Amino acid sequence: PNQKLKIYIGLETTDDFVASIVRKHYGWMDFENALRSLAVELSPEEKKRFSISAYNIMKQWCTTDREALEESGRVVEKVTVLSRELGINIEVKHEPTIVSRGTDQHFFFHQVDERGERQYKNLSYFTVAELVARLAEKGLAGRVAFGQRDDIDDIETNAMVARPDNRVCKPFCVNE
Note the pLDDT tens digit of each residue in 116-135: 888 888 888 889 889 999 99
What pTM, to 2 d.p., does this model score?
Answer: 0.80
Note the pLDDT tens digit of each residue in 14-36: 888 888 887 778 889 999 999 99
DSSP secondary structure letters along 106-149: HHHHT-B-TTS-BSS-PPPHHHHHHHHHHHHHTT-GGGEEE---
Mean pLDDT of the 83-102 span: 88
Classified as helix, coil or strand, 73 is: helix
pLDDT computed for residue 151 by the predictor: 52
